[in-house]
Amino acid sequence: MSYASWAPPSSPQQGVNLETFILEGMLETEGATGTFTALLNQICLATKLITSRVRRAGLSDLLGYTGETNVQGEQVQKLDIIANDLLINTLRRQGHCSALASEELAEPVVFPHASGGYLVVTDPLDGSSNIDVDISIGTIFGVLRHDLKTGPPTTQSFLQKGRDLVAAGYVIYGSSTVLVLTTGNGVHGFTWDPSVGEFFLSHNNIRTPSRGNTYSINEGNTSRWSPGVKAWNEYIKSVDPEKNLPYGARYVGSMVADAHRTLLRGGMFAYPADTKSPGGKLRLLYEANPFAMIFEAAGGKATNGNGTNILDIKPTELHMRVPLVLGSTEDVDTFESFTKNE
């Protein structure tokens, strides 16, 4: 087969690295200040440092558990702590971030000398139970505003709706390392080039298809689901060629991996409430909200399965959990047609 017809893409944005993309305002960030731009680049620096640890964890005794349990009651992996500390130590500098709330910490870390009115929420290493078996994991982050004239940030300062996020993103440490970022107007992906030590634009203006052909949910929880989720699960596996059913099942058990696939290809991912996790398992501030902002900016959707948009949910506490269904608008609507009135 001849490849004469194929030539390397020559787009004006080819070879644009992440820092340039942000500095040149290609993120279409209204009212972006130098502080905001510098903060995004700081977050990206932290993810570069995390990438370097994740990629060689098996060679530097960074695999396995620390023996401790975090505020979530989960066993802490060594890389959880390393990722958390890298984000704190990076964001502590330059004064752009006033405080950071992390899945790994009971309370936020406040940076008292900061002059930048921004807060960062993060799951430093999501899916970390998969680290030792080399399955994709990721870092999730969101940026909120804080008016320092009202005083230093407190836990209450973080309890803002997802609608108030000014930026959201994640890094997936998969077959390649990809950072996906939005400030609400477009979603863009940047692939890590280890030979250069930079993220380069690889997915310009990601759009989620209005419908996909895969569903992603932990079917091991079937006996714990509500009747509506059970009915949806039977529907999505039924045979109906006219409706392009059944869908294919895909479940990695790492939210960043399942959500990234869904963002690019469509379909849906759900972690609904069940008898074991009556409020859902995933955390609102630093898992559901950043992804909800990303999916909405890419033309997708994220709700709690009962008709409430994730971005409209008012947090009541820092580590609040929510039921979550996200993905293609049509697929999320199909899920909710079975669950909305429960």
The footprint of ligand P6P (CB under 6 A) covers 126-127, 129, 218, 253-255, 271, 281
Strand 282-283 vs strand 268-271: parallel, antiparallel, or unpaired? unpaired
Q: How far is the CB of 59 from ligand P6P (least distance, A)?
A: 24
Give 48 or 321: the residue with its C-beta nearer to ligand P6P. Answer: 321
On the CB side of 4, how many CA atoms lie within 13 Å of its CA?
A: 1
Classify residue 73 as left (phi > 0), alpha (psi -120 to 50) or beta: left
3 state DSSP class of 11: coil
Q: How far is the CB of 260 from ligand P6P (least distance, A)?
A: 11
Q: How far is the CB of 148 from ligand P6P (least distance, A)?
A: 32
Give 149 or 276: the residue with its C-beta nearer to ligand P6P. Answer: 276
Q: What's the farthest any 2 CA atoms get from each other in the chain?
A: 66
Give 255 or 311: the residue with its C-beta nearer to ligand P6P. Answer: 255
Nearest to 98 by CA among 154, 180, 177: 154
Q: How far is the CB of 65 from ligand P6P (least distance, A)?
A: 14
Q: How far is the CB of 291 from ligand P6P (least distance, A)?
A: 10
Strands (E), 1-159: 65-69, 75-77, 97-102, 109-110, 118-126, 137-145
Give 40 or 259: the residue with its C-beta nearer to ligand P6P. Answer: 259
The contacts of residue 145 (CB under 8 Å, 6+ apart) are: 117, 118, 119, 164, 166
Token readout for 231 is 């009915």
Report which residue type is found at 162. Answer: G
Give 246 or 253: the residue with its C-beta nearer to ligand P6P. Answer: 253
Q: How far is the CB of 12 from ligand P6P (least distance, A)?
A: 36
The C-alpha atoms of residue 338 and residue 244 are separated, in whole angstroms, by 18
Give 104 or 198: the residue with its C-beta nearer to ligand P6P. Answer: 104
Q: How far is the CB of 222 from ligand P6P (least distance, A)?
A: 12
What is the 8-class DSSP label of residue 164?
A: G
Report DSSP letters for 203-266, one per residue. E-S----S--SEEE--GGGGGGS-HHHHHHHHHHTS-BGGGTBSPEE---S-HHHHHHHHHHH-
Give 158 or 271: the residue with its C-beta nearer to ligand P6P. Answer: 271
